Structure 1
Amino acid sequence: MKIIDAHIHLDRYEDKEIESMLKKADWLEALVSVSFDLHSCKRNLRLNKTYSKVKPAFGFHPEQSLPNERELTKLMEWMTQHKEEMIAVGEVGLPYYLRKDGKVSAPEYGQYLELLETFLVLAKKWEKPIVLHAVYDDAPIVCDLLEKHNITKAHFHWFKGGQKTVKRMISNGYYISVTPEILYKEKIQQLAKSYPLEQIMVETDGPWPFDGPFTGQKTHPNMIKYSISTLAKIKKQSEKEVSEQIYKNTRVFYRL
């Protein structure tokens, strides 16, 4: 079973953890390591230079304060300089959880939308896939922007949202990825059941921790094996068939 972790924050692990993770896992083909900010982008690029399995994506995670003009300029200049070395634009999107907690005002939300659109324009211009943090009420807004810019290479990681949006995403050819949460969350299981296997990838979103059978464990790509096993039961197919399809999906989407 060859596995690709389609979404991980590898830069947030310690060096020794990364070394152990990558040197003792022949089954681990690649990791798409998404970035949080410029500092994160730079570390992911360094990891790529050290480990060929690390495929970096560059962007600005939306669940944080907006960058000031100087910070944004530096990020955009750096991304432009290193666009050939990144596999995708990401992680980018909208601040659902900050807004839910009352930490983002309406005018600020407009600025997050403008920032996301800037990243979408770059992804289109550079012909790169885009990795999205867009859940619940934010997802249809992001779909509007993707349609506006005629972007089809969109990956909604750890997606959560309504059935109307799910149908729209399927129709538009957007991909989703499921985390180890699929083992114990019924809503994620129902999403996986309704979504075409040909548009699904698997991820850890590590080092984000998980509950259920993973309570107290450090998030590791080997958890994906259990996700694939659960997905196979949901799809009523063999683990081999599901594993091969997921592997193919990820390779094609990210041009690996």
Structure 2
Amino acid sequence: MKLIDAHLHLDKYKNKEVDSILTGSDWLEAVVAVSFDLKSCKRNLQLSSKYQKVKPAFGFHPEQGLPSEVDFSSLIDWMTLHRAEMIAVGEVGLPYYLRQEQRVSRAQYGQYIELLETFMKLAKEWNKPIVLHAVYDDAPIVCDLLEKHSVEKAHFHWFKGDDKTIARMIENGYFISVTPEIVYKEKIQKIAQIYPLAQMMVETDGPWPFEGPFSGKITQPAMIKESISMLAKIKKLTETEASERVLENTKEFYSI
């Protein structure tokens, strides 16, 4: 079984942990190392030069305060300079959880949308996939923006949303990835039932911690094996069939 962790914050791990993840797993073909900010982008680029398995994506995670104009300009300039070395634009999106905590005003939300549109335009211009943090009622807004800017290669990581949005995403050919939550959360299992396997990947979003059988454990790409096992049951396939299809999806989507 060969697999790719389609969404991992590799730069958040300690050096020894990174080395263990990437050199201790023959079955792990690659990791898509998404970035949080400019510092994170630079770290992921360094890791990709050291480890062949690391496929970096550059962007600005929306669940944080808005960047200054100078900082955002610096990020875009750096991404432009290193666009040939990145596999995708990401992680980018909208701040759903900050809004739930009432830490984002309506005016600020509009600014997050403007940032996201900038990233979408770059993804389109550079012919790169875009990795999205867009859940619940943010997802339809992001779908509107993708359609507006004619961005077709979109990956909604750890997606959560309603059936109407799911149908729209499927119709548009957007991809999703499931985390180890699929092992123990019914709502994720339901999404996996609905979504075509041909448009699915697996991820950990590590080092984000998980519950259920993973409670108290450091999140590692090995957990995606459990996700594949559950996905195979849902899709009524063998684990080998499920893993092969998901691997091919990820390789094709990210041109790995």
Q: How far off is 1:21 after superposition?
A: 1.0
Query: Please, which runs of 5 or more residues in structure 1 have no aligned partner?
Result: none
- 1:218 aligned residue: 218
- 1:205 aligned residue: 205
1:75-117: CA deviation from partner (whole Å, max 9, x where unpaired): 0000000000000000000000001110000000000000000
Q: How far off is 1:141 after superposition?
A: 0.2
- 1:253 aligned residue: 253
Instruction: Using the aligned pairs only, state the percent identity.
Output: 69
Q: How far off is 1:148 after superposition?
A: 0.6
Q: How does 1:161-200 map to 2 (within 5 A)?
A: 161-200=161-200
- 2:135 aligned residue: 135
Distance 1:109 1:68 in 2: 15
Distance 1:215 1:86 in 2: 33
1:11-53: CA deviation from partner (whole Å, max 9, x where unpaired): 0000000111111101000000000000000000000000010
Partner amino acid for 1:157?
A: H
Q: Which runs of 4+ in 1 moved over 2 A?
A: none
Q: How far off is 1:221 after superposition?
A: 0.4
Partner amino acid for 1:92?
A: V
Distance 1:196 1:73 in 2: 38
Determine if the alignment matches structure 1 residue 116 to structure 2 residue 116.
Answer: yes
Q: Give the TM-score normalised by the residue count of structure 1.
A: 1.00
1:213-238: CA deviation from partner (whole Å, max 9, x where unpaired): 00000000000001000000001111
Q: Give the TM-score normalised by the residue count of structure 2.
A: 1.00
Distance 1:21 1:135 in 2: 28
Distance 1:122 1:249 in 2: 23
- 1:97 aligned residue: 97
Q: How does 1:237-248 map to 2 (within 5 A)?
A: 237-248=237-248
- 1:144 aligned residue: 144
Q: Secondary structure at the match of 1:137?
A: helix
Distance 2:52 2:22 in 1: 10
- 2:14 aligned residue: 14
- 2:59 aligned residue: 59
Distance 2:28 2:196 in 1: 24
Q: How does 1:24-63 map to 2 (within 5 A)?
A: 24-63=24-63
Query: Please, which runs of 5 or more residues in structure 2 have no aligned partner?
Result: none
